[in-house]
A and B are shown apart, each in its own frame.
Chain A
């Protein structure tokens, strides 16, 4: 799965690769996403509706979010869960861009950090209410993404990677240098989030906030993927030229997805700032952007739920590997390589395909 969407990523190169290897996977249906055929018969439609990714998947995710606290023994686990959810929100948005629109971004940590710092600065230095600051950050990031989207998305493959990387680095440098505003490399404290009379602090409260936001983000993303435009683009096997000849405004779709993914990152960043009550420029760094992309690819490109799984694994892994002390980086590198060799399409699509084969 995801094969078609991936093809447009790094257009030239992948096109050549496919020629060379000529190894097309048979068209397996896109997990549950495509499993909902047109309705013949009300019963079947209801069944399809319930088991489609959009509803069934979201319901399943909501159920996991609701039940998980029963299994989390203490605040440390809640802390990991919160960070997982916030990373997952970024990755779900990023996967729309990478997996579905076929465009890479190595700069999404920049959007995450802009959202976080917007919340931090507007609440701490200007006394804005938290939710307004968060909204302002999201709008600001959305506008920025919209403005740069057209020139940037004209670029192909590695040039696009470089441009988004550059954008992220510029954001990171500005955050690092504008010390009176951002506190510079040492970071800045962020006030707790107030919503009406409630002061939202503590890992358990934040677990619910980030969990619910994640479910919303996944639901929104699936809707976008299933929108007529998203569907049309996928139906055309991710080929821009083919899409354009049938009258689909590919650029508009790409810009839209870029803006949506940036806004997702911004909101996750704002939530992160309030949950941690601290922001540092490390969050804007180039390595963070790479981390987000790795989460997406590890979980599975063009698999929204893959992004959640990828985020969970890469967030929890450092905690698990901590017992290896000095050898943790060796282990992390080896795990990444092994997963990508044996599951080149990512965890969720590979496992889903295995499952389907076994079930029949």
Chain B
């Protein structure tokens, strides 16, 4: 039982990380239908930025918002300089642009901050909490807490603010949105800024557990994408559910099946889900537009 509980707690911890990254994918997808392959880089930038700001002597409480601001700026610049000029291109072309951006950002960090891996201290210490013989990292609670706050915040943003509603409207029908006076360019800019900030937050919160390094974004991006797809693209709740499910599957597969094949097990299950539910667990099952 303690064993099962340990697998579950580990799975939820890792799953919450995937979920937080997956949410960033969903936001940009909603606004532009682009999968932003540089999302993982936002996560990396958040973690690495905080590490270096703290190394420069700033306390966490200052370094964290500062790093988030920097990453938001990067997100806005990326949208302005790389995505916006190619707005009329096909989605695949835009995806290649985000791939180029991720290579560029990784390259920039590699040159300026180096290739070593770093760790942030846990926000409230590194002593684990023992629950029924299983250990839970304190930092996990921060991540799960942040996840809840972010999901609630996003829901409020999309349901109750003009800007949020505008994003949703654009996502549903771009021409209609334009006709009622929504500036689609602003929407894209907002969505990139938002998901960059969210990615940075994820990177900072998870750095005490995952450690951080210039190339950690590749893996986190991949898993975050998988989480967003498994849950159903464009659905915030789906991304969270997809992340947690993915994390728990991995932990259970490592524990009960084979740790060598746990990732393969996870992907087989994702494929299986997609075969039966082609829009993911909670994705919109809307009719296809011709």
Contacts and interface: CB of A to CB of B under 8 A. Distances in A.
Same assembly: yes
A10 interface: yes
Interface in A196-212: none
Given A17-B33, A162-B229, A341 B107 contact: no
Contact of A341 (B86, B103, B261): B86
Contact of B91 (A9, A151, A165, A327): A9
A161 B95 CA distance: 12
A10 to B, nearest CB: 5
B97 A341 contact: yes
A23 to B, nearest CB: 5
A173 interface: yes
Contacts of A10: 33, 90-92
Chain A interface extent, by class = 35 or more
Given A169-B267, A294-B96, A327 B111 contact: yes
A329 interface: yes
A163 to B, nearest CB: 5
B136 to A, nearest CB: 28
Interface stretch (A84-92, A113-121, A331-339): A331-339
Contact of B97 (A154, A326, A336): A336
B131 interface: no
Interface in A72-96: none
B87 A9 contact: no
Interface in A263-294: 286-287, 290, 293-294
A196 to B, nearest CB: 40
Contacts of B289: 11-12, 15-16
B107 A159 contact: no
A328 interface: yes
Contacts of B97: 336-337, 340-341
Contact of B267 (A159, A161, A170): A170
B271 interface: yes
Contact of A16 (B33, B35, B107, B226): B33
A45 interface: no
Interface in B223-246: 225-226, 229, 233
B183 to A, nearest CB: 13
A332 B107 contact: yes
A162 B225 contact: yes
A98 B37 CA distance: 18
Nearest to A155: B278
A11 B288 contact: yes
A20 B96 contact: no
A335 B29 CA distance: 25
A316 interface: no
A286 B222 contact: yes
B82 A326 contact: no
Contacts of A242: 290
Chain A to chain B: the 3 pairs with minimum beta-carbon distance, closest first: A333-B104, A329-B107, A336-B100
10 contacts: A17-B33, A159-B274, A159-B279, A162-B270, A167-B267, A169-B263, A170-B268, A333-B102, A334-B104, A337-B100
Given A158-B233, A170-B271, 11 more contacts: A9-B91, A16-B289, A19-B173, A156-B288, A159-B278, A163-B271, A173-B264, A332-B103, A333-B103, A333-B106, A336-B100
